[in-house]
Structure 1
């Protein structure tokens, strides 16, 4: 497979917004180097319409620009990016990549993640937002659904916080191996199950006390009715992968559903909703 390499010159504070947009266009390898963002996409998945769309996005950021490098054969795009990840404390957790030797302090739980992608490592603001929310709600002996589990970091965190059972699913092929790898790495294989696919892999009879969805606005809006159908009475839903510009749209949608908004937390340009089924 041949890949297209795009190089963006853009302020570091805006790079996560661009990554979110590019992931919707099937880009999935990223490197961040100060004021430069490098992104990779399979050549068949990139066309003139995508180029024009990216040009429109970039135009919103003063001084930002991008250009296409030559087509290149497949390789480990994320190797440089991965090595930039550092251990960090999020809520009750010390989140570290597998190559780090950092150890949790007293009262901290270890989350060890072998990252394959830009999201799902604790490095991204939305993952931090959801991890912090998990530390603030009771999970002991509860059943959890993690939609778009990715690296399974949130599912693993829920298990370590006392959940009786966690089901995570994802449609991305890279997640199929990486999620299972991380589940075993964190010794929660008896508590966390991974299924490859979308909402259809959740059986009709399965109900949950907490539903996590760190995905994107469009996917959340599409899946909300299904989430509620699988939610027990008074279930908590934690929704992220959302930009601050998505807030009004989501609030309008939630007004017509049997839910109560408990709060919205924020980090940088990202937000996280916590709602309860009523």
Structure 2
């Protein structure tokens, strides 16, 4: 699943060692809702923009000079209407800029998510090495962080786990470190698929199976998983929830995130229709992570 909302800070263009390249930056005002911003980012990605950054007021999108052309965004209605600012960004070491803006993450005094240019935390119960690249899920965003907090309270020993919209694979890796028997990590984004595979190897994890796909992967899976992790967005969660429930064992748990507190009632209603019982949730900056149990 493409996780269309993005972590802060985001990856800068070309974040491989000593990467230098000319880029163009598109700067446009944010829209009135997060969902609209997610759709805009998705449309920009479709026409070739490869890195995104969000400020309080703007979305910044970067595209390599070789892929840029005039009128590139003419078929995106919002861009036609607002005439975003286009700036040429000359060659520089993007990797150095990216590293300087990417801090490690320390969650619940137990889990430490760090990049290759950081050191492990000596007091962390779980140290997770992440090569963030273009994939969502570095734990800077409230949704990922809250999912990790909930997971730290859960027993994964011997469990089969599904991670939908896996991004970097950080949730899959934590599930494995907490004793999961097998983890299927699914994402329809090639960056995420490759990044999950890379990060699993970096953490010496062998029981994570990356899958390039979407909820159709679950069509032939009935009562397969003990725990499902789905950190995506409201619309995809509502659309694919029946497939998740079919693949979840009786008594199994689903961890949902990627939506606002104002959306929780819709998630609860849909879940109730599918025999999912609400257990608990937590909120941070209006973002929600919630747990449901299959009756």
Q: TM-score, normalised by structure 1?
A: 0.80
| Contact kept? 2:111, 2:126, Cα under 8 Å | yes
Task: Give distance in 2, aligned partners of 1:158 and 1:33.
Answer: 32
| Contact kept? 2:138, 2:170, Cα under 8 Å | yes
The question of 1:254 aligning with 2:271 is answered yes
The question of 1:117 aligning with 2:134 is answered yes
| Contact kept? 2:116, 2:130, Cα under 8 Å | yes
With over 3 angstroms needed to count, the CA separation of the structure-2 counterparts of 1:133 and 1:6, relative to structure 1, is same
State the shift of 1:21 in Å.
4.9
Q: Which SS does the other structure have where 1:127 is aligned?
A: helix
State the shift of 1:124 in Å.
1.1
State the shift of 1:179 in Å.
1.1
2:114 is matched with which residue: 83, 88, 96? 96
With over 3 angstroms needed to count, the CA separation of the structure-2 counterparts of 1:34 and 1:203, relative to structure 1, is closer
Higher relative contact order (CA 8 A, sep 6+): 2
With over 3 angstroms needed to count, the CA separation of the structure-2 counterparts of 1:93 and 1:219, relative to structure 1, is same
The question of 1:179 aligning with 2:201 is answered no
1:147 is matched with which residue: 164, 185, 202? 164
With over 3 angstroms needed to count, the CA separation of the structure-2 counterparts of 1:167 and 1:22, relative to structure 1, is same
State the shift of 1:105 in Å.
3.0
| Contact kept? 2:112, 2:124, Cα under 8 Å | no
With over 3 angstroms needed to count, the CA separation of the structure-2 counterparts of 1:99 and 1:236, relative to structure 1, is same
Q: Which SS does the other structure have where 1:134 is aligned?
A: helix
RMSD: 3.4
Q: Which SS does the other structure have where 2:84 is aligned?
A: strand
1:47 is matched with which residue: 60, 71, 75? 75
1:5 is matched with which residue: 16, 20, 25? 25
Gaps of 5+ in 2: 1-21
| Contact kept? 1:235, 1:277, Cα under 8 Å | yes
Q: TM-score, normalised by structure 2?
A: 0.76
Gaps of 5+ in 1: 56-65
Task: Give distance in 2, aligned partners of 1:113 and 1:123.
Answer: 12
| Residue 29 (structure 1) aligns with | 51
| Residue 197 (structure 1) aligns with | 213
Task: Give distance in 2, aligned partners of 1:268 and 1:71.
Answer: 34
Task: Give distance in 2, aligned partners of 1:142 and 1:239.
Answer: 18
